[in-house]
Structure 1
């Protein structure tokens, strides 16, 4: 992805890569500084968040092998470690961002964090489980935890506008 985008843009890249809606609170923690969208009207002003909509990725991630964290859904606590593996020159004719690798399916949003995701997979894989049919209906009928749906990720990423300041997400 381009380095001249904001952290808010990166938030949407992560959301669309995961197949999530962006409907929960999130934050980035980079070198001891917290970034997110300040919401003093909801009593979150004490979090001391720097406004992610104003911070370019290239200003906070300065070198290859830099790591930082992204926390999504403070209730389910999806914590992601982000690693800048390598800085490459953009290729002509390529519309970024693009997904170049994916392994396994992403957990469905609101499935209860990592523990809930494990329970969901167990229930879906066991047709005799009392919650099997309910979970199958909740997930939309089909879910293969091994299928990352690579083409769908790339398609969703193309829908993110360059300026995400007022973007609220959609598929």
Structure 2
């Protein structure tokens, strides 16, 4: 069964049987959250998968079977993310039927809110480039989304770095040890980084540290989660009137929320980067110490190579590694060219710390 969890606004617009949500959803990869938004005067449906955070966006056609519209949008979303067409067909066939239910997860609604902002901002930018109205394209829309596949490599972009400001070595500063592990498919080897960071920095600062430490390019949305996901910290986005089911007010502003507000009382923090590829980092909080000679965050240890941006998440990365380990594979040359020279580079503590020193914290 494929569960499409819709906001009240969307449920009121579609001509489909509405059913209650079962207590046990089973495999949540077959669950999507959906809402309706307005883009350039058109009513559009935006959908995010509960597990992998694949994104689908399409124009709502009132006189076309809604289930068919959803099925088509999901297929295009998954194929654009790099999944083989055969695997997508099997996934859709396994769902058997579609059930349209009310929304149930505040965090998923928050993601819909963030992705909708991204869509609106992109179309607004397109309008400025065209110096006029930008007509919406075909039924399934395309814009720089979190779930672009491995054949659409982004332009190079370095993590945000700013000149450092002088900090007195005479003032004691509390530091906290953080051990961070990136969750990957078994068999690809661990990817871990350890840091010593000031306890008085914000979660926004910690985001910058993690981007540098893991070699990400700061191209996507992100979020911190604490206390079994009851506390969410991320980029602050204004409220939107179309979010009629849940308010995004439970998302704390990462620029105003300090590590010391929760750490060391909270021992584990989850950090998700790129809601499309859904890279989950588990942060284990270690010992708090006082230092007078450490004025910058420091990477103290690490192992493993970070996956490339936009490679398709866990399964896309696993496929990429499998192909690049076999030069006889049909896709080898194509994926080798896409991955570039930086694929599989070993952990480089000196280079990471050189970049961390440029941060102004």
Match of 2:262 among 38, 52, 60: 60
Deviating more after overlay: 30-39 vs 50-59: 30-39
- Hey, which bits of structure 1, 4+ residues long, moved more than 6 A? 41-45
Matches within 5 A, 1:5-84: 5-31=201-227, 32-40=230-238, 46-47=247-248, 48-63=250-265, 66-84=267-285
The runs of 5 or more residues in structure 2 that have no matched partner are 1-196
2:334 corresponds to 1:138 = no
SS at match of 1:133: helix
**Cα distance in structure 1, aligned partners of 2:313 and 2:213:** 17
SS at match of 1:110: coil
Shift of 1:144: 2.9
**Cα distance in structure 2, aligned partners of 1:75 and 1:143:** 20
**Cα distance in structure 1, aligned partners of 2:292 and 2:334:** 46
Instruction: Tell me if the contact between 1:136 and 1:142 (Cα under 8 Å) persists in the aligned partners.
Output: no
Instruction: Report which of the two has the higher share of strand.
Output: 2
- TM-score scaled by structure 1? 0.82
Distance 1:135 1:69, change over 3 A: same
SS at match of 1:85: strand
**Cα distance in structure 2, aligned partners of 1:60 and 1:132:** 46
**Cα distance in structure 2, aligned partners of 1:122 and 1:84:** 34
1:169 match: none
**Cα distance in structure 2, aligned partners of 1:5 and 1:116:** 34
1:85 match: 286
Distance 1:104 1:110, change over 3 A: same
Shift of 1:74: 0.8
Shift of 1:158: 2.1
Once the two structures are superposed, residues 20-66 of structure 1 have per-residue CA deviations (whole angstroms, 9 ceiling, x without a partner) of 12221111112221111122377788443110100110111133x71
**Cα distance in structure 1, aligned partners of 2:260 and 2:288:** 11
Q: Rg bigger for which structure?
A: 2
**Cα distance in structure 1, aligned partners of 2:219 and 2:341:** 23
Relative contact order higher in (CA < 8 Å, ≥ 6 apart): 1
2:350 match: 151
- TM-score scaled by structure 2? 0.41
> RMSD over aligned Cα, in angstroms?
2.2
SS at match of 2:303: coil
The runs of 5 or more residues in structure 1 that have no matched partner are 163-171
**Cα distance in structure 1, aligned partners of 2:331 and 2:307:** 18
